[in-house]
Amino acid sequence: MVAEYIDAADREARRRALSVFRERFKEIYKQIKMGENPFLMLPKRTLSNTIYDEKRKLLLLGPEKLKRSFFDLHESKKFMQTLLMARIIYEALERDEYPTIRDLYYRGKHTILYRDPSTGRRYEENTWDEQRESDAVIRDIEVFTGLLREEMLILSKEKGKVVGNMRIRSGNDIIDLSRMGHGAYAIEPTPDLIEFIDVDAEFVLVVEKDAVFQQLHRIGFWRKHKAILITSAGQPDRATRRFLRRLNEELKLPVYILTDADPYGWYIYSVFRIGSITLSYESERLATPEARFIGVSMTDIFGDKKTGKKPYLTEQERRNYIIKAKDADIKRAYELMNYRWFQTEKWKREIEIFLDKKSKLEIEALTSKGLRFLADKYLPEKIETGDWIS
C-alpha cells in the first residue's frame, strides 16, 4: 500500500542492495557449513592503510586486509555486531524503510543475558553501548558489501544546500534550483538517485560558511556570475561531496572552494578534493580531485613578494580582521605538512606564510570589507586570473 508512493529509483536501489547482501553473506554461511571458523575479510580502515594515489589524486584504502573471525576471542563480538547490523539493514531494505544511522543504533541495541556455569553468575551485555560502535560496523558493512550507505537507503541529516540555474528530478518531482526563493534546496542523503535535467552554469562555488552562502545568494551572485552555489555548512557531509562530484564529473563544471584562511579551512577543501581518512574507502565516489581552492589564501591577505602578488587587504584591514593563530592551529598546520597532497609548491607557500605570520582569517572578513567586494571583485578576479590552488 505504501509501495505505490515509492519511486522507481528507490525500488531499484533496494533490489540491488538486497541481492548484494545475499551474495556476500552466503560466503559466511558456506564457511560455517564447512565447519570452518567463519570470517569477514575487510580492508583495514586505518591511517597506515590509507594511501594517497598520486595519479588520481585520491585518498584510497590500501591493500591491507583484516580477517575478522567469529571464533577469535577478541574479534568475536565485532563479528556478531557486523552480522547483527547486516541483518537490521537487510530488514530495513526489505520493509521499504529509510533508517538513519541513529535508528540503526537503536534497532540493534539490545541485551544479551547469559549465565556463567563456573560461577553461576548472571551477566548482561549489550550488543553495543555507544553509537560509535554501531557506526563503525556500518562502515565495515559498506566495505564488505561494496555498497555505500546511500545505496542501502540509509539516510543522514541534510546539511548541504544548493541554488543555481539548474533543474533536477528527485523522486517523482522536478525541482528548479533557481526558484527556491530566499531558501535553498537541501541536498538529499541519496544524491545518486537525483537526475540532472538541465543546467545553465559555468562553474560551481562551494562556500564553507552557511551565512556567507546566504549573503551571496541574496545579492544574486549565482545569477550574475552563472554559478551553482553550494554550502557545506562546515565539514561537508557525504551527500554534499557526492553531489559536488557529480556536478564536476557529469556536467564538467569547474569547482571552486571558499573556506576560512586557516588549517581547518584547508582540511575542508582537502576532504572535498581527495577524501577523508576515516571514509577513504568511498573517496572514489565522493572525492572531487579537480576541485580548486580559491581562497581565502594567505597570499590574498599578505601578498607574496616572491611572485609579486599584491594583497587584497590593506595594512589597516589586516590589523582589524586578522586573528592570532592558536596552538591547535599551528599543530594542525604541521600535521597537514606531512600529508603528501599538501606538499605542492603553492600549499607549501601557504603553510609557510601561515607559520610565519601565525595569523588566520575568516571569510566574513571579506564581507566586512564589502559584500560587493567579495562577490564582484575578489571571486571573479581570482577565477579569471587563475589565482587558485589545486
Q: Is 48 in the site for another protein (CB under 8 A)?
A: no
> Measured from the CB atom, is 77 or 285 closer to another protein?
77
- Region of 308 please: left (phi>0), alpha (psi -120 to 50) or beta: left
Which of the residues 29, 106, 114, 334 is marked catalytic?
Answer: 106
Q: Is 99 in the site for another protein (CB under 8 A)?
A: no
Known active-site residue 106: yes
Q: Is 90 in the site for another protein (CB under 8 A)?
A: yes
Q: Which of 7, 12, 15, 26 binds another protein (CB under 8 A)?
A: 26
Question: Could you give the C-alpha distances from 294 to 9, 131, 223, 245, 378, in angstroms and in order?
Answer: 36, 36, 19, 17, 10
- The Cα–Cα gap between 372 and 75 comes to 58
Part in contact with another protein (CB under 8 A); list of ranges 48-56, 70-78, 188-196, 200-208: 70-78
- Residue 43: CB minimum distance to another protein, A: 21
Sign of CA dihedral 369, 371, 374, 376: negative
Part in contact with another protein (CB under 8 A); list of ranges 119-127, 189-197, 223-231, 338-346: 119-127
Report helix, strand or coil for 52: strand
- Residue 375: CB minimum distance to another protein, A: 53
> Measured from the CB atom, is 77 or 169 closer to another protein?
77
Q: Is 83 in the site for another protein (CB under 8 A)?
A: yes
- Residue 150: CB minimum distance to another protein, A: 20
Sign of CA dihedral 103, 107, 110, 112: negative
- Residue 80: CB minimum distance to another protein, A: 4
Part in contact with another protein (CB under 8 A); list of ranges 69-77, 219-227, 245-253, 258-266: 69-77
Part in contact with another protein (CB under 8 A); list of ranges 20-28, 188-196, 337-345, 380-388: 20-28
Q: Is 106 in the site for another protein (CB under 8 A)?
A: no
Q: Residue 212's closest CA among 366, 100, 96, 34?
A: 366
- Residue 71: CB minimum distance to another protein, A: 4
Q: Which of 6, 9, 16, 25 binds another protein (CB under 8 A)?
A: 25
Q: How many helices (H) and strands (E) does the chain have?
A: 16, 17
Instruction: Report the run of H or E that residue 308 belongs to, with start and end.
Output: none
- Residue 44: CB minimum distance to another protein, A: 22
Instruction: Report the run of H or E that residue 42 belongs to, with start and end.
Output: strand 39-43
Question: Could you give the C-alpha distances from 44 to 41, 69, 266, 300, in angstroms and in order?
Answer: 9, 14, 26, 40
- The Cα–Cα gap between 222 and 196 comes to 18
- The Cα–Cα gap between 68 and 27 comes to 14
Cα 219 vs. chain centroid, distance in angstroms? 28
Residues 121-140 that bind another protein (CB under 8 A): 125, 127
Q: Which residues are catalytic?
A: 106
Residue ranges binding another protein (CB under 8 A): 21-22, 25-26, 28-29, 32-33, 35-38, 70-71, 73, 76-77, 79-80, 83-84, 86-87, 90-91, 110-118, 120, 125, 127
